[in-house]
Amino acid sequence: MPLLELKQINHFFGGLQAVYNFNLTIEPGELIGLIGPNGAGKTTIFNLVSGFYKPTQGDILFHEKSITHLKPHQVTSLGLARTFQNIRMWNSMTVLENLCISQHYRMGYSFMDAIFSTKTYHEHEKAVVKQAMEILESLGLSEAANEYPKNLPYGLQRRVEIGRALTIKPSLLLLDEPAAGMNPSDIDRLIELIRWIREQFHLTIWLIEHQMKVVMSLCERLCVLDFGQIIAEGSPSDIKNNPRVIKAYLGDEEADDNAEN
Amino acid sequence: MRHHLSLIVYLAICLLIIVIFQQSWLNAYIQIVMMFIGINIMLSSSLNLINGYMGEFSCGHAGFMAVGAYAASLLNMGLFTTSSIFGHSLFIGPQYSVFLFPVTLIVAGFCAALVGLLVAVPSFRTRGDYLAIITLAVNYIVKSSIENIQEIGGARGFMGMRQVVNAMNNVINIPWLMIWILAFAGISIVALKRFVGSTYGKGVIAIRDDEIAAEIMSVNTQRVKLIAFMLSSGIAGIAGGLFAHVIGYINPGTFTIMKSTEIMVMVYLGGMGSLSGSVLSAILFTVMLEFLRPLQLFKWVLIPLLLIILMLFRPEGLMGNRELSDVFPGLRRFFPSKEY
């Protein structure tokens, strides 16, 4: 039973077609990568899956149920979490508060409970904080709990953002360029972290990445996107030698030597 | 015991104020100023939920106040008084106003909260400057609608709320209005504090910090916005109802953009995202307005000037994002702290 299915997705921004006939099936437990030159439509696809955009055509199934027309918070509450290309933490609140708020969909009490300070409220609030602390501890971030995310080093901010996505208790985690802006030692730690959370939380992971080191050492399957179309799909070693991929990344022989890489 | 310390302190202060009022140790003018302080505390702290915690720019708060003021006055006058506009009192007798006055205020708050939907629903799709224009429009819609309903006095407004207060005093002669102002101001502050202190209510702050992240991280942003706007305008409505009964006369001209601006000044003076800042600045601002009264119209030159100076040298307001207990940690023992 596939975990996520994208069927014949077409997406337009006005007259511009950003995604052409995109088809992909992700099985539970997979670690799959989505790569492609800048502007190929990778983040658009993540935005479509997480419900932020509605596809012009096509259907997205998660656990064999259509999520095409759900709002982002509804999609997330089904267990589909994501991180962002540019870290998006709530910077006026502490790391712990960040990890509590992301459990909003299973808060279990209404705002009236909060105002009347009922027993339900206190019980659920306790559970939410406990859950957040557990995740922080497992990621080795318990000391950062009362820090503000913006005061943390970049690598830790990434870790916190992944932690925040984990509080959703996802079955599928989308990582949008987790290694962007990281130095080589941070990247090694990130690769380790992704491997570890995958084991620990039984996750299926789909990631966008430009750092070939990350993609090649982590992903079992790759999907290459160019101008909104899949141009190749397969194992990392196949992709590395695929002439269409090389062409998309390096350009034609006649093309400018300075082309995108 | 420790958990109720702040409540006991507050009740003691209330009792002191009520006794002072009862014994007429202060003259009527100072009494009215104190009532305005209470009402302004409600107004500024409720607007702070939107302008401070949610980071939107609502500049039509007086509109909700107007709805509450008219709803409460109409209900009370219709129920308990006999007047030329509303005819004979509908209810069994004016003496019941003692019990039903707070109920009418809550109903007025609900009416204002419903009008708050006029802002809440557009806020799903738009924000920032555009939403600010919508709040301004709502303020004008409310004001102009009231102006054009001749049955409730149109632009002339109407008076007679004193009769309701008198009816209450005829049953038991205690300062009813001040009691209800103290009660509702206290309840509003506690409700707002608990709301923004809960993880659910912190969804409001998440929307301010990054709305996209909030929506994608499972915060039902539409519902959170709906609750925040309705809570805020509801409290403003109750404050409006109390305001009408303190003044004894209302007309649409009272609830213009000028009044909204006054409330906004209090919020920015106190500091966005700080409830204790809002309380402090409501007290400061109301007292300052009264002290500057001899300057007459020049008051409105001086006060905006103060605002300019404030924005230049302390743009985060008196308290910034902090609460009183952050500035004076000694106060913490008055507030029950949450430790999970």
On whether the CB atoms of residues B70 and B146 are closer than 8 A, the answer is yes
3-class state of residue B137 by DSSP: helix
Instruction: Give residue-wise pLDDT tens across range B128-149.
Output: 899 999 999 999 999 999 999 9
Q: What is the pLDDT confidence band of residue B90, given thresholds at 50, 70 and 90? A: low
Is 70 exceeded by the pLDDT of residue A209? Answer: yes
Considering only CB atoms, which chain A residues are within 8 Å of B340? Answer: 125-126, 129-130
On whether the CB atoms of residues B196 and B202 are closer than 8 A, the answer is yes
Q: What is the pLDDT confidence band of residue B92, given thresholds at 50, 70 and 90? A: low
Instruction: Give residue-wise pLDDT tens across range A2-58.
Output: 999 999 999 999 989 999 999 999 999 999 999 998 889 999 999 999 999 999 999
Q: Is the pTM of this model over 0.80?
A: yes
* Predicted pLDDT of residue B335: 59
Nearest to B159 by CA among B39, B64, B251, B31: B251
CATH of region B2-22+29-256, choose from 1.10.3470, 1.10.287, 1.10.357, 1.10.10:
1.10.3470
* Predicted pLDDT of residue B6: 83
3-class state of residue B315 by DSSP: coil
On whether the CB atoms of residues B275 and B189 are closer than 8 A, the answer is yes
Q: Can you list the domains of chain A with their CATH numbers?
A: 4-250 (3.40.50.300)
Residues B293-307 have a mean pLDDT of 83
Q: Do B213 and A109 touch (CB under 8 A)?
A: no
Residues A203-212 have a mean pLDDT of 92
**% of chain A surpassing 70 pLDDT:** 96
Apex A201 CA angle, A127 and A149, nearest 5: 65
* Predicted pLDDT of residue A181: 86
C-alpha torsion B314→B318→B321→B323, nearest 10:
160
Q: What does the DSSP 8-state code read for residue B120?
A: H
Residues B295-323 have a mean pLDDT of 83
Considering only CB atoms, which chain A residues are within 8 Å of B205? Answer: 90, 92-93
Backbone angles phi, psi at B35, to 5 degrees: -65, -40
Q: Do A93 and B208 touch (CB under 8 A)?
A: no
Residues B160-186 have a mean pLDDT of 90
Q: Do B219 and A101 touch (CB under 8 A)?
A: yes
Is 80 exceeded by the pLDDT of residue B24? Answer: yes
Residue of B nearest to A117 (CA): B194
Cβ neighbours, 10 Å, residue B103: 11
Instruction: Give residue-wise pLDDT tens across range B58-76.
Output: 999 999 999 999 999 998 8
Residue A2, classified by CB atoms within 10 Å of its CB into exposed (0-12), middle (13-18) or buried (19+), is middle
Backbone angles phi, psi at A86, to 5 degrees: -105, 125
* Predicted pLDDT of residue B338: 47
Q: Which has the minimum average pLDDT: A157-161, B18-22, B222-226?
A: B18-22
Cβ neighbours, 10 Å, residue B246: 18
Is 50 exceeded by the pLDDT of residue A259? Answer: no
Is 50 exceeded by the pLDDT of residue B20? Answer: yes
ipTM for the whole complex = 0.90
Q: Do A52 and B216 touch (CB under 8 A)?
A: yes
Q: What does the DSSP 8-state code read for residue A167?
A: T
* Nearest Cβ partner for A82 among B216, B221, B231: B216
CA distance A149 to chain B (A): 12
Apex B123 CA angle, B117 and B125, nearest 5: 125
Is 80 exceeded by the pLDDT of residue B85? Answer: no
Instruction: Give residue-wise pLDDT tens across range A82-101.
Output: 999 999 999 999 999 999 99
Q: Do A168 and B216 touch (CB under 8 A)?
A: no
Q: Do A104 and B194 touch (CB under 8 A)?
A: no
Residue of B nearest to A163 (CA): B217
Is 60 exceeded by the pLDDT of residue A132? Answer: yes
Q: What is the mean pLDDT of chain B?
A: 88
Residue of B210, B211, B218, B339 to mutate for A, most A C-beta atoms under 10 A: B218
Q: What is the pLDDT confidence band of residue B83, given thresholds at 50, 70 and 90? A: low
C-alpha torsion B300→B302→B308→B311, nearest 10:
-100
* Predicted pLDDT of residue A260: 46
Between the CA of residue A230 and those of A22, A36, A226, B17, what are the distances in Å? 7, 9, 6, 74
Is 80 exceeded by the pLDDT of residue B339? Answer: no
Better-predicted residue by pLDDT, B47 or B315: B47
Residue of B nearest to A116 (CA): B191
For chain B, what are the domain ranges? Answer: 2-22+29-256
